[in-house]
Every structure is written in C-alpha cells, then in structure tokens.
Amino acid sequence: MRPTPSVPDGGTVAAARVADVLLAVAADPDPVGVTEVARRLGLSKAVVHRILQSLASRDLLSFDQVTRTYQVGPAGVILGSRALRDQELRRAALPVLRQLHTATGETTTVSALVGTARIYLDQVVSQRELKMMVEIGRPFPLHAGSSSKAILANVGRDLREQVLAQELPELTPRTITTRARLEDELVAVRRRGVAVSRGERQHGAGSIAAPVRDPHGDVIGSLSICGPINRFTSQVLRQYAPLVRRSADEVTRILADRLNGASDDDPVPNEVAGDVDG
C-alpha cells in the first residue's frame, strides 16, 4: 500500500520529500534501491535518486556500490541513538522532577546536552501565582544559567575548551562573558556540585542545577529548580543544594539500573523531599 505523504504546516514539499525518503529507507530492515523507494512513495526515480545521494553525502544514509542499495548511515544512527537517549533521560527524570516540585513548590526541569548547547526536555511547573516556565526543545548556550553551567563544568575537556574558545554572548547584564571569570565559576561549580544563577540567562529568574550522568559517567544533562529571583535567596539556595544534587544522582542511578536490566517501575525514594528542611 502506497503511503500518502503530507506536508506539515509551515513546511515545504521538498523538505517533506527528503523526510519521506529517509523514513522509507529507515523503516526497511534490508537495504533498498532507488526503484523500490520511488515505488513506495509514488515519486519519480530521478527525484528519489537525487535525495538519496544528498542524504548519503551527509552520512545519513550509506550507499553500497555493489548492490546499488541504501541503508541508514552513521549520522542516521547517531540521530536515532540521540533520540533514544533523550527519551530515556526524560523518562528517568520525570518522577524525580515531581518529587523536587513537591519539596520546593518551584518549577523543576531536566535538560539534555546537545552538541555545544543544551535543551529542556521536560518540566514540572510551579502552582504558585508567580512562577517560571521554560521553553522545551529550544537550544540554549552552555555558558549562562545554572542548567548550562552544571553541564559545562562537568563535560570532557575538549567540549569545554570548544565552548570557552567561542564568543560568550551577553544574554543579560549578569551573564559571565569573559573566559577567565567563567573558568573560575566552573571550578566553583565542580567543587560545590551545583551551579547557581540569579538572572544570568533570563531577567528575574533564579535557579540551581546539578549534572546528570549516563551509566558510563559522562555528563548528558542536568536537573534544576527555578523560580522568580526574589525567592532564590542565599539561604534558600543553601537549602536546595543538597536536594538538587541528590535528585540528579537519583536520575543517574535510574539510568544505570535500566541499562543493567532493573525494573523501570522502581519507586523514587521519598527521602529527597526532606532535604529542604535542612
């Protein structure tokens, strides 16, 4: 049965065709040729051939010169692995975010490292009248804000050097924009185990975050508590620090347990809720 490709709102026919061709190859367990893909999608072989060549040139697909067929390439595998990793991080973090929200009354978030940036994967929004909400899926730089600094302070040296060597844009008057000062800040973040921001990335926003690691010990994201800056006093931040550290460690543990075959239904310990009280 021939699929009926559709063009999403705001998209283009050309972009939709590229996506359809890529998905058609990825959906087949065996390598496929131009003729087969064209037949499935109802497109001309010339159009499909150009798209397949373009995707192969970017390693999204691999081309076999002998069989003249295509299959998912290394870049496509990376994208798939990335999507699975982010999905697992979000699933592992959500019950912990709910615990953090219950303990603090503030918005809690989970972010994922993406290249030299990070994105919010999910949030549990505060029920208070004045609250913070984050934009899911939008890339944010790694030099500003607690969620970003918690990641940057703990990633490998090569990635950290790559970020530090670039321009550090001023997002607010409180953004750290000099390399030397940011390096000092990252040392402090590693020592404390948490990163703090009071208006660095967004005016009027306060937050505290800790890094989340994959089962191999590599930093893949961060957990944060965020809200209006006036509620994030020094005393409150001291109360939140052990809570957010332990919560991030809990997400790291959940990810490791899943890799080792433990149940996804393991409960999140209620003990994290008591840390706010000292």
Domains and CATH numbers, the chain: 13-72 (1.10.10.10), 78-277 (3.30.450.40)
Question: Can you give the pLDDT at residue 69?
Answer: 94
Give the helix/strand (H/E) hosting 37: helix 34-41
- How do the pLDDT tens digits run along the chain, 278 residues long? 344 444 444 456 788 889 889 888 887 778 999 999 999 899 999 999 999 999 999 888 999 999 999 998 877 766 665 665 678 899 999 999 999 999 999 999 999 998 888 889 999 999 999 999 998 888 899 999 999 999 999 999 999 999 999 999 999 999 999 999 999 999 999 999 999 999 999 999 999 999 999 988 999 999 999 999 999 999 999 999 999 999 999 999 999 988 776 544 444 444 443 333 32
Per-residue pLDDT at 272: 41
Give the whole-angstrom CA distance, residue 7 versus residue 178. 45
Task: Give the pLDDT confidence score for residue 85 in this predicted structure.
Answer: 63
For residue 78, the model assigns a pLDDT of 66
Evaluate whether 199 touches 174 at the Cβ level (below 8 Å).
yes
SS3 state of residue 169: coil
Identify the three-state secondary structure at position 95. helix
Do the beta carbons of residue 140 and residue 222 sit within 8 Å? no
DSSP bridge pairs for 224 = 109, 209
Q: Is 22 exposed, middle or buried (0-12, 13-18, 19+ CB in 10 A)?
A: buried
**Looking at the whole model, is its pTM more than 0.85?**
no
Chain CA centroid to CA 140, Å: 10
Q: Would you state the pLDDT for residue 1?
A: 39
User: Residue 25: what pLDDT?
Assistant: 87
- Which whole-number Å values give the CA distances from 57 to 15, 29, 114, in the listed order? 17, 21, 22
